[in-house]
Structure 1
Amino acid sequence: MTTIRDVAKHANVSVATVSRVLNKNGYVNEETKQKVLEVIKSLNYKPNAVARSLYKKSSKTLGLILPDITNPFFPELAKAVEDVANRSGYTLLFYNSEEQVEKEQIYIENLKQKYIDGVILATNSLNKQQVEGLEIPIVVVDRAINKNIPTVITKNYEGGKLATKYLKEIGCRVIAHIKGPDRNINAEQRFKGYIEEVSNEPWFHEELIIHGNYNMRTATEVTKKLLNKFPEIDGIFAGNDVMAVGAIKAAHQLGRKIPDDLSIIGFDGIALGEMTIPELTTIAQPIYRMGELATHILINLIEGKAIKQTYYELDIQLIKRESTKRA
């Protein structure tokens, strides 16, 4: 394997001179520079990436910490991050925290030791002081922490209202809600949107709210219990698409016809919603755009470029499919 010393020997210059040419750091006259570059090309010399990162304390690498890769939303988000990173000359290190605080902190420390250039983070556990204390560029995605931290999210509260309002518009008379995890700010915002639309309805009571923990199996089991206890329910707003799929499964197991007996709407707009039978009506987030925008912001921060805006709350969209009846 060709080394930097081999290049220096063939070019009849010092190792330091070759290093300055490679790192574009320090003065080298044009004639010597061209000579070194010709030798690098002729010897097919490839600089050691690890050594260069240690020298420059930079690795052209981004970190991505996500809470749950079993939820299809996050792999779709990760694809956008990877696409933009690769186009911009960065590689990506991916970590799955499984919603565990300890894992998040271990991963962040690990990334800092690798001279990672910046991190995109979806977290429920870290606060503003902890994020700002990481001393590397951070962009938060999907789950807001503080408006002073670069963030890309969507209008979760408005989406919760829109989903519930649509179920009312198509004639649903008793609407239940499958809520996500209590610590999850998105779940709370979507829940608040639901409450805003139903709290003054004469049929509303708190037992219409169940917890699915953003998990399909959990949502299936709690939905079966709910529908057995309150058979008058004819509409369900699930806090994410995965739980909505669980609700469809529960209805099928109980012999409830969708959408004739029961209309179900989810939230996220993942590709899985088009694969269910019936296809899932959903409040769609611009998932790819979220990952794309977060990565552009992070790279601009790393490269010291001007940033006009750091806090984005993107629009959502109602996509009407087969799991809800027609108005």
Structure 2
Amino acid sequence: MATIRDVAKLAGVSVATVSRVLNQNGYVNKETEKTVLQSMKELSFEPSQIARRLAGKTMKTLSLILPDISNPFFPELARGVEDIAQQHQFNVFLGNSDNLEKKEKSYIEVMQKKSIDGLIIVSNTVEEETIRKLQNAKIPVVLLDRPFTGNNCSIVRARNSEGAQLAVKHLFEVGCRKIAHISGPDNINPAYERLIAYTDMVSGHDWFSESLIEDGGFDIKGGREAMKRLLQSNADIDGVFAGNDLMALGALKELLQMGIKVPEQIAICGFDGIQLTEYTEPGITTIAQPIYEMGALATEVLIKKIQGEEHENKIFELPVKLIQRNSTNKNHVQMGGLAWRKK
């Protein structure tokens, strides 16, 4: 592998001159610069990325750390990150933490050693101290789809509470009178926000009880098991709001397996807007997050920080929308009904 000394020797200049050409620092006449660049090309010389970092140059490399790449929500998020990164000639390293704090910390340490330019983290466990260490190392951080109690990084997320309210209101409006909730793990903030919004919407009704809430673990299997438990404790429910689309898929599978008609007997609404919900039978009504756009925006914000164009830390909350499909398409839709209001 060619070194900077090899380039200097072939070009007939000093190592310092080659360094000035590499770092665009200091005067080098055009003819000499042309000779040095030609020598680099002939020797297939590539400057050390670490040396570039020390010289104040960017490596054009980002890292994205996700909690669960098997969840279809996250590949779409990652696609938004990658597309915008490529537009700016940045590469993206991906780490899948499996929701494990130890694995997440290991990824962050490895990425830091590789001298990446910035990090996008989707995490339930990242600590303020970790963020502070990255900031001290001059590595900008953007948190995606998660809030953070500190104020030293920007955050991009969707309006979870608003989306959950839309879901419950919609179930009331299509005629549901006893709505259950399949929640995600309460240590995941979006899941917790959706749970609280559901509770606020239904707790004023005389039929409400804690037995109408079951944890589905944010996956298909958990959603199916939660649906089974709900039917055992509340056989008269006629609506289900699932905290994400995977749990809605599991709930739908369980209901159909038991011969329960959807939506005639029980209507289902999920949350996220992943493509799978469009292809089930019946299709699943969902509260769609702008998944791709969230990843894209997080990347734009991070690159601006890397390039010194953005110094202020902000929270960006993107809107959500209801996409109605046949899982809530009851015949007795109450047009403009107000049944969702607390009694």
Q: TM-score category by the smaller chain?
A: over 0.9
TM-score w.r.t. length of structure 2 = 0.89
Equivalent residue for 2:142, pick from 105, 117, 139: 139
- Per the alignment, residue 198 of structure 1 pairs with 202
Q: What is the distance in 2 between the residues matched to 1:306 and 1:50?
A: 24
Tell me whether 1:83 sits opposite 2:83 in the alignment: yes
Amino acid at match of 2:272: D
- Unpaired runs of 5+ in structure 2? 334-343
1:98-247 alignment runs, 5 A limit: 98-135=98-135, 136-146=139-149, 148=151, 149-247=153-251
Alpha-carbon distance in 1 for matches of 2:205, 2:50: 66
Counterpart-to-counterpart distance in 1, 2:150 and 2:134: 17
Letter in 1 for 2:256: H
Q: How does 1:21-40 map to 2 (within 5 A)?
A: 21-40=21-40
Alpha-carbon distance between aligned partners in 1 of 2:231 and 2:313, rounded to the nearest angstrom: 46
Say if 1:137 and 1:301, in contact at 8 Å, map to a contact too.
Answer: yes
Given that 1:53 and 1:115 are in contact with CA atoms closer than 8 Å, whether structure 2 keeps it comes out as no
Partner of 2:319: 315
CA RMSD between the two structures: 1.9
Distance 1:205 1:227, change over 3 A: same
Does residue 290 (structure 1) correspond to residue 300 (structure 2)? The answer is no
8 A Cα contact 1:4 1:47, kept in partner: no
| Alignment length (residue pairs) | 326
> In the alignment, is the contact (CA less than 8 A) between 1:177 and 1:209 conserved in 2?
yes
Change (3 A) 1:323 1:126: same
- For 1:127 and 1:189, locate their aligned partners in 2 and report how far apart those are by CA, in whole Å: 20
- 1:4 shift after superposition: 3.9
2 CA distance for matches of 1:197 and 1:55?
A: 54
TM-score (norm 1): 0.94
Q: Which amino acid aligns with 1:278?
A: P
Would the aligned equivalents of 2:121 and 2:141 in 1 still touch at CA under 8 Å?
Answer: yes
Alpha-carbon displacement from aligned partner over 1:55-89 (angstroms, at most 9, x marks no partner): 54752211111111111111110111111112111
1:275 paired residue among 274, 279, 282? 279
C-alpha separation in 2, matches of 1:98 and 1:313: 25
Q: Give distance in 1, aligned partners of 2:265 and 2:91.
A: 49
Shift of residue 51, structure 1, vs aligned partner: 5.4
Distance in 2, Cα, partners of 1:153 & 1:317: 14
Please, which moves more after superposition, 83-92 or 26-35? 26-35
Q: 5+ residue gaps in structure 1?
A: none
Distance (Å, rounded) in 2 between the aligned partners of 1:189 and 1:55: 43
Aligned in 2, Cα 1:79/1:175: closer, same or farther, shift over 3 Å? Answer: same
Partner of 1:248 in structure 2? 252
Q: Structure 2: which amino acid aligns with 1:179?
A: S
Distance 1:72 1:257 in 2: 26
Q: Distance in 2 between matches of 1:44 and 1:87?
A: 29
Cα deviation, residue 204, structure 1: 1.0
Once the two structures are TM-superposed, the CA of residue 163 in structure 1 deviates from its matched residue by 0.3
